[in-house]
Structure 1
Amino acid sequence: MWIVVGRAMGSLTVGPGADRLAPLAVLAATIAAISEPAPTIRLATRDDLEAIVGLYNATIPGRTATAQLEPVTVEEREPWFHASTPDRRPLWVAENAAGEIVAWVGLSDFHPRAAYHVTAQISIYLRDDVRGQGLGGRLLDHAIAESPGVGVSALIGLVFAHNAASLALFASRGFERWGHMPRVADMDGVPRDLVYVGRHV
C-alpha cells in the first residue's frame, strides 16, 4: 500500500490499496496548499508588464473577461501602463513566494472628461490556478481601501452578463448593478450583454 502526494506539481500517485487512503491524500494536498504563503500585493513596476500582459492574454480565449478578441503585445500596453500612475490610477500585482505574478488589479479612467476624475474603472485578472482561493476578494478589498487616497470616490466594473463568477465576486464586495447594456458585444457571432457594477468608497 503506497500513496505519494507531489506538493510542488500537485500530482497524486497511488498504488495497491491506496483507495482507502485517498481521503488522506486529499487532506494532505489541501494542507500543503493552505500552508503556502499568501501572495504579496504591491504596486506594479515596468518589469511586471510582461507578466501582466500574459495574464490578460490568457483570459481572451475564454470570451468572458475581456472584449479583446486577439492577444495584445507588451508594446501595445505600454501607454496604458504609463498612465497607471500610483498617485492617481494605481496598478497592483499579486506576487507569490516563487516571485511569480499570479494576479493584478488596476484602476483606469472611466471617462476622459474632467468631472469624472473621481470615478475609476476597476479591472482584475487572476491566473487560473489561483482562482477560488480568495485572492480576487483580497485584491478588490485592497483597491477599495486605497481608492480614497488617490482621489477616487466611485469604482465601476464592466462585466459581461455571462461571467457569473466575476459578478458574484464584485457583489461580495458591495458592488451593485448600475447598468445593463443588452447585446452590445459580438463574441464569435454570439451577442453578449454588458453589466456595469459600481460602488462608492
Structure 2
Amino acid sequence: MLLRPATADDVPALLDIHNDAVRRLAAIWTDKQETLAERQAWFHGRTGAGLPVIVAVDTAGTILGYGSYGPFRAKEGYRLTMEHSVYVTDAAQGQGVGKALLQRLIDEAKASGVHVLVGAIDAENATSIALHARLGFETTGRLPQVGFKFGRWLDLVLMTLILDAAPAPAAGTAV
C-alpha cells in the first residue's frame, strides 16, 4: 500500500467512496449523494487552502481509501484545530488502510502547526472509536441524538488528539 497526495484525477474514485459511505454507513449524516462537480469543488477547496487530501492505493493503483482534514469551526479562535475524516472502501476494511491514513493525517497536521485534531464519530462505530484510541485520541464528548439517519437518532462522539505542547497564542495574535 502506498499513501500519496490525491490528484484531480483521483476525484471520481473519492466520489465513489464518499457516495458508498452515504448509502451504506451512518458515518456521513446525510442521504444526499454528491455529484462529481460537488466533490471536485470539495477537493479544490481543500487543496487550494493547502489542506491535505491523502489517498491509499494498492500495487495496481486502485484507491483503497482517502483521508483529509479541514477547519473544525469557522471562527479564528479555532484556526489551530482541524477536524479529520477517513473513508476506506468496503473491500479494504480491516487491512490497516484507515490506520495508515489517520497516522499520515496526524503527521501532516503536526508538520503544519495544527494544535488539535478532532474526530467526530458516530457513537455506534466501535471500530473507528477503537482506532482513534489506539492512535492516542481521547473521548472528550458525547452528544446524544444530535443527528439522524436510517430512521434513527444518532449520537456523536468527539475524540481529540493534542498534537503539541505549544502555549496559546497571545491575544490578538494572528497565527
User: Is the TM value for this pair above 0.5?
Assistant: yes
1:145 deviates by 1.2
Q: Give the aligned partner of residue 15 of structure 2.
A: 53
> How large is the Cα RMSD of the aligned pairs?
1.5
Which structure exhibits the higher relative contact order, with contacts defined as CA atoms closer than 8 Å and separated by 6 or more residues?
Answer: 2
Q: Which runs of 5+ in 1 are unaligned?
A: 1-38
Aligned pairs for 1:170-189 (under 5 A) are 170-189=132-151
Q: Distance in 1 between matches of 2:148 and 2:154?
A: 6
Give the structure-1-normalised TM-score. 0.77
1:86 deviates by 7.4
Q: Which runs of 5+ in 2 are unaligned?
A: 164-175
Q: Distance in 2 between matches of 1:189 and 1:136?
A: 27
1:61 deviates by 2.5
Which one of 93, 108, 127 corresponds to residue 165 of structure 1?
Answer: 127
Q: Give the aligned partner of residue 71 of structure 1.
A: 33
**Length, aligned pairs only:** 163
Q: Which amino acid aligns with 2:64?
A: V
Greater Rg, structure 1 or structure 2? 1
1:169-197: per-residue Cα shift (whole Å, max 9, x none)?
A: 11111111111110011213211101111
1:45 deviates by 0.8
- Following TM superposition, the consecutive aligned residue runs of length 4 or more in structure 1 with deviations greater than 6 angstroms are none
CA contact (8 A) 1:44 1:92 kept: yes
Aligned pairs for 1:104-183 (under 5 A) are 104-183=66-145
SS of alignment partner, residue 38 of structure 2: helix
Q: Which amino acid aligns with 1:61?
A: R
Q: What percentage of aligned pairs have identical amino acids? A: 34
Q: Distance in 2 between matches of 1:156 and 1:40?
A: 25
1:146 deviates by 1.4
Which one of 47, 57, 76 corresponds to residue 85 of structure 1?
Answer: 47
CA contact (8 A) 2:64 2:97 kept: no
Matched, 1:99 2:54: no
Q: Which amino acid aligns with 2:112?
A: V
Shift in alpha-carbon separation, 1:101–1:86, aligned structure 2, 3 A: farther
CA contact (8 A) 1:41 1:94 kept: yes
1:87 deviates by 6.9
SS of alignment partner, residue 56 of structure 1: helix
1:150-187: per-residue Cα shift (whole Å, max 9, x none)?
A: 22111001101011111111111111111111001121
